[in-house]
Each structure stands twice: as structure tokens, then as C-alpha cells.
Amino acid sequence: MELHVVIEGDKDLTGQLYRQLKDAIRTGRLPAGEKLPPSRLLAEQLGLSRKTVSEAYARLTYDKLLVGRVGSGTFVAGDVKPRGVTAAAPSFAGAATAARWRSMDTPLRHPAPEGNSRYEYIGGAPARSLFPHADWRRCVLHALREGARSRGLYGPVEGMPVLRAAIARHAAFSRGVRCGGDDVIVTNGAQQALDLVARVLVEPGSTVVVEEPGYPPARLLFAAQGASVVGVPVDAEGIVVDRIPDGTRLIYVTPAHQFPLGMPLSMRRRKALLARAHALGAIVIEDDYDCEFRYEGRPTDSLQSMDTQGCVAFVGTFSKTLSPELRLGYLIAPPAILEAVCVAKHLSDWHTATPAQTALAKFIGDGDLLRHVRRCHAVYAQRRERIIRRFAGDLAPWFELVPATAGIHLAALCRRPLDMEMLLRLSRRVDVGLYALDGFHHFGPVRQGLMMGYGVIETEDIDPSLDRLRDILMQMDQAAIE
């Protein structure tokens, strides 16, 4: 790769090169530690004499912007701090729009800035220690061999046919979804699936319903598309369907494991929701984010499997079963929006990376995904049981768990008011990472509580960490009395 330098005319050649390199270093285009081309090579590239380049390098070295290392070459000095880019004028045409995006919160970003405690209860993250490295490596090598035989062109927008078929079989087997490979669109995680549906359905002023409390990135995504977002409360049976307003165009729900509280949507509410959506002509997004992991009772049908009117878009992800780093998810779109969503994906990113798709298709096809889910299920079940036992025991005076049958987190609601900010701060001091439910409320009053994710925390660390939580709660109670 050639260093970008432009020499004009034949006057002050050393000065021109010196000033351009100095500007590149000062602005950060040449970062600290970057190796510059040898003087002979740069001279050939620019059509200059080697002496001209050497003199410019010497002046920059004298300015302490470059350092020479015998036998290694010339490098940008390590202590050079680049100047900031000139701020855009506040009067530029898109200032208001950019300001609106800047002001948006970005909740649930992983890792959280404070997410480095020894005992982490962060939600929505699977166990990294359980990732099947050997099996995945074998599938990646297969994908690389397949790629070496390809023509190197862009892939299909909807996803690789082999992966779409594998996902359809997996979703039908594990969640009872009714679909074929042609109904599946491979996405960059579940978030892109939500974005694509919103792009083709939401216009400024469109009414979109979300659960309250609920998943903040979905609410913010719909709002960013110009929607009028309405929060509908949930109770012990899930979303209160009777509160869905007339004129609603899109309904976002997490029926198998309500996020963040965890209760499943009752069969009565499922039927009512489908009837309400049909009456409104609305599309329902069923976000099935972590429901491969089920611990109690009989499996419940997916909402999509009950849909006879073609109004449910089923969203799944491999972020909770495998790893969020893979950025692989899928959308099983109803016929009414399938083609439109494909066009939207084509215009936004063309297609998801094909090597990862090929690897995942083999991983599913070889049975590795089901085996991995079973291994994780056994571990998560132990962690879940240990947390339930503690919250039914010595932590019961402060919290009660919301009954949940699936997923990789539990919600613990406060039995009485607590200074949640202090609790989280004191917990951090003893290396326990806790996360409040406050941020999942937006439209109504906050019900205090904790999200107890058990994907990251090791099983043997649960009791010691909850001992520390109990001790902190006792100390806070004692301080309140005094």
C-alpha cells in the first residue's frame, strides 16, 4: 500500500513532503508507532530523489515526530498526540437530525463500561467458557475450503441456501416454527432483523407497540424510524392485549420469555394478541431471543406456529446459544413483507458474511448446535436452581423472583423500596456486578429489581457472590435503622 502524499510542481519538494507528513502525523492519519516506507521506496513512489525524502525525514526526526530504529526503519514517535478533527459547524443542514441521534441512549452495550467484576450477573450473555471451539474451528475450516472454490462474488441477499434450510429445520425442531428455507432471511444478529422489519413498515407517525417494561434497543430503533412508540404494560400473563391502541401498525413482543421480567405469554393472551393483530392489520414481531433453554413444564408453541393469518415475523438469534460476537441471527418473515425485507437488506448491507454462514450451516447440519445447547442447558439449569434457592432463602426478605421457565436470566423484584444506586455501587466494591431493572422502564412507574443473568457467572461463584449481596443488604438495613 502506498503512502498518500501529493507533490505538486517541482519547487520546494522537501518542504512539501515535510509539511504533508507533519500534517498526517498531527491529525492522526499516521498514528503513533506507524512505520514509514524506506526513503528509497517512497522516493520511487513519488518520483523524487532519495536525498529529498531523507531530508524531510530528518527534519521530522529533529521535530521529534519521527524516530529511527537501527535495523528496523523509521516510525512515528510514540508520544505524538493527534489534534482533534475540526468540529462541524452547528448550522450545517443536518445538525438537528445528527443531534437527535447523538442524544439517543445506547443501552445494553456489551461489555458494559463497568462490566469487569469477578462475579458478573450481566444479562443476555452466554457462557464463553462453554463455547465449542473445536467444533466451530472444524466448521470454519470447512467454510474456508468451500470459499476457496467459490467465484468470489457477492452472495444472495436472503442468505446462503444451505444455512436457510438448516435454520428452518432447527427452528421447526426446537420452537415448532412453521417455515421452509425460502421463508428465512439471514441477518447480522436479531437487531438487524428488527431494523429491517421497521424499515419496510414504519413511517413517521406510525404507531408501534412495545412491552413495558421491555427491550430498550427495540423501542429506540422504532423511535429512530419516526414511529410513535406506545408502551403497553405486562402482567403475570404477559402483554395486556386490551391496551393495544387502534391504529397500531407493528407490535413487538417477547412471548416465550418476556424481556426483562421473564414470564411467558399465556395461551389466552396469545390467542387474543393474534386476533387483535389481525383486526388491526398489524404485523407482530415475535422476538424469541433465548428460548432454546427451557427448564420447567411443557414447551409452549411459538406465536408464529399459531398464526393462521400470516401476521407474525419470527426473530431468532445465535447470540445467546453460541456467541454475540458471531453476529448471526435470522428472520422468518410472513409472505406479506418477505420480498420488501429482502430489498431493504440488499440496500443496507447486501448480505451477511458468507464464510460465517457456511460454517454455521455445517455446525447445525452436523448436530453440533443441538449438542452444544444440551451441554449449556445442563450448566445453566444448575446455575438457575442455585439462584432460585438463594432468593427463596436468605435473600427472600428483600427480593422475590418472577416465575420464568426459560432463558438465561431471572428477574428479582424488590419486596420493599431499596436505594438501588447504592446497592449496585456497594456491590461493585466487593466485585459483584449487579444490574437494575430501572432502565427497562420508560413509559410508566418503575418497579425496582435486579436482572440476574446466569450465562457468565460460574456455578461455583454464585453462592459466594450472593453471600456478599446478602451482607450488603443487611448493612444497608442496619444503616437505615441507625
Asked if the model's pLDDT at residue 29 lies above 70, the reply is yes
Give φ, ψ of 325 to 5 degrees: -70, -25
Q: Are residues 232 and 313 in the same domain?
A: yes
The reply to whether omega before 111 is within 30° of 0 (cis) is yes
- Residue 83: the pLDDT is 67
CATH number of the CATH domain containing 413? 3.90.1150.10
Asked if the model's pLDDT at residue 4 lies above 70, the reply is yes
Q: Are residues 355 and 399 in the same domain?
A: no
Q: How many CB atoms lie within 10 A of CB 482?
A: 5
On whether residue 91 sits in a domain, the answer given is: no
Asked if the model's pLDDT at residue 250 lies above 90, the reply is yes
Asked if the model's pLDDT at residue 84 lies above 60, the reply is no
- Residue 111: the pLDDT is 54
On whether residue 404 sits in a domain, the answer given is: yes
Mean pLDDT of the chain: 93
Q: Are residues 321 and 449 in the same domain?
A: no
Q: Express each pLDDT in 356-403 by its tens digit.
A: 999 999 999 999 999 999 999 999 999 999 999 999 999 999 999 999
Asked if the model's pLDDT at residue 87 lies above 60, the reply is no
Q: Are residues 345 and 393 in the same domain?
A: no
Asked if the model's pLDDT at residue 76 lies above 90, the reply is yes
Count the alpha carbons within 13 Å of 105 in the hemisphere toward its beta carbon: 11
Q: Is the dihedral of CA 216, 221, 224, 226 positive or negative?
A: negative
Q: Express each pLDDT in 403-442 by its tens digit.
A: 999 999 999 999 999 999 999 999 999 999 999 999 999 9
Share of the chain above pLDDT 70, in %: 96
Q: Are 338 and 310 in contact (CB under 8 A)?
A: no
Q: What's the domain range around 193?
A: 133-366
Contacts of 187 (CB under 8 A, 6+ apart): 193, 196, 328, 329, 330, 331, 345, 352
On whether residue 110 sits in a domain, the answer given is: no
User: pTM (2 decimals)?
Assistant: 0.87
- Residue 86: the pLDDT is 55
On whether residue 100 sits in a domain, the answer given is: no
CATH number of the CATH domain containing 283? 3.40.640.10
Q: Using alpha carbons, list the distances in angstroms from residue 85 to 24, 82, 234.
A: 12, 9, 47
Asked if the model's pLDDT at residue 120 lies above 60, the reply is yes
The amino acid at residue 420 is: M
Structural domain count, the chain: 3
- Residue after which a domain boundary falls, among 317, 346, 366: 366
- Residue 301: the pLDDT is 81
Q: Express each pLDDT in 151-183 by its tens digit.
A: 888 999 999 999 999 999 999 998 999 999 999
Q: Are residues 63 and 152 in the same domain?
A: no
Q: Are residues 238 and 269 in the same domain?
A: yes
Q: Are residues 198 and 340 in the same domain?
A: yes
Q: Express each pLDDT in 290-348 by its tens digit.
A: 988 999 877 778 999 999 999 999 999 999 999 999 999 999 999 999 999 999 999 99
